[in-house]
Chain A
């Protein structure tokens, strides 16, 4: 597609349930990032995938959070046993990482997660 897409756009869930958020990056982009933005806060880095390298998981807040990426395409962020503090907008971004690229990160519209 023309841009980064995310689904669902909105997700309301009950505390304790598991949720899966999906990101489709721009075709050909080797790098994919997940961030979250809690109300009134800045963007927090969660995880970064680059090609076949081991992902940088240093931003994941707890072991309830995990993410996978299939090759250089779709990524899924999974939150297990959701808590109210997980409520946030989850943003995905992708970029073309090469010596000739500008490394601009292109963001999707986000998934707004509300945990009741």
Chain B
């Protein structure tokens, strides 16, 4: 059974810091890995999706890497801002027709001005 772990569970940093969120998964036979953002009382917003054949994806100040063999992914946030405060979720998918995502419990990020 696929298990996804995210470290740290919570992180509080001052504005402007660069930071790294970690995700690990137990079964390396994944199809893709997705990072989401969840704001209180709202649904999930997809940030980045990395296919299993890719090593990284970038969007603005966000960069996600994937090392499938070691079962790890990191989300790098550059020059953090208070608006980045949210819970960040990592999820892995087994296959395009196999559907479900396996989620970690998330990292709750607070960026203070």
Residues on A facing B (Cβ under 8 Å): 4, 31, 33, 35, 41-43, 45, 48, 50, 56, 59, 91, 93, 97, 99, 101-110
Contacts and interface: CB of A to CB of B under 8 A. Distances in A.
B46 A31 contact: no
Interface stretch (B11-19, B66-74, B75-83, B94-102): B94-102
Contacts, number: 61
A56 B51 contact: no
Interface centre among B4, B32, B36, B46 (most CB of A within 10 A): B46
Interface in B33-84: 34, 36, 42-46, 49, 51
Contacts of A59: 100
Interface of B: 4, 31-32, 34, 36, 42-46, 49, 51, 89, 91, 93, 96-106
B46 to A, nearest CB: 5
Nearest to A51: B97
A48 B106 contact: no
A17 to B, nearest CB: 24
A106 B99 contact: no
Contacts of B106: 42
B105 A103 contact: no
